[in-house]
Amino acid sequence: MTAFDIILLVEYLISALGSVVYVGRYSFAGWWRSREGRAIFGQHIALALFGLLTLFFLEFGVDYIGRDVLRLISVNLLLVSTWSLTFSLFRAQKRARQIKAEKPEPLSEPDPVV
């Protein structure tokens, strides 16, 4: 493993640790109340699982019990949560366009008489 590989691995694990901390903190914040909250929470769980997969790979190598299950869960969770967040963005943009279309134009001021 080169020095560059080690640096990338450390950065990857630090970002995965950030997702673990995010999931720990956000789990008490009422994330289940909105589609966006569920999608963001799902994405961070998937990222935390990717970090866990990396740690297991480093410790146990390529073959360990549950590897395929963890990979399947993390990839599917990332897929569903990313598309859910994308559709939420589309819906929010559509709502913003509708609100903008319903908003009346402001009345123009008459030119002052000089």
Tell me if 19 is assigned to some domain.
Answer: no
Specify the pTM.
Answer: 0.72
**Residue 54 CB contacts under 8 Å (≥ 6 apart), including other chains:** 9, 12, 13, 16
Q: How many domains does the chain have?
A: 1
Tell me if 81 is assigned to some domain.
Answer: yes
Which class for 84: exposed (0-12), middle (13-18), buried (19 or more C-beta within 10 A)? Answer: middle
The range of the structural domain enclosing residue 85 comes to 34-91
**Residue 63 CB contacts under 8 Å (≥ 6 apart), including other chains:** none
C-alpha–C-alpha distance, residues 79 and 36, integer Å? 14
Tell me if 53 is assigned to some domain.
Answer: yes
Cβ–Cβ under 8 Å, residues 49 and 23: no
Tell me if 60 is assigned to some domain.
Answer: yes
Residue position matching structure tokens 């598309």: 83
pLDDT in tens, 9-41: 889 888 888 888 888 888 888 877 888 888 988
pLDDT in tens, 59-113: 888 888 899 999 999 999 999 999 999 999 999 999 999 988 887 766 677 666 6
**Tokens linked to 73:** 């869960």
Tell me if 110 is assigned to some domain.
Answer: no
Residue position matching structure tokens 């559709």: 87
Q: What is the mean pLDDT of residues 52-58?
A: 87
pLDDT score for 77: 94
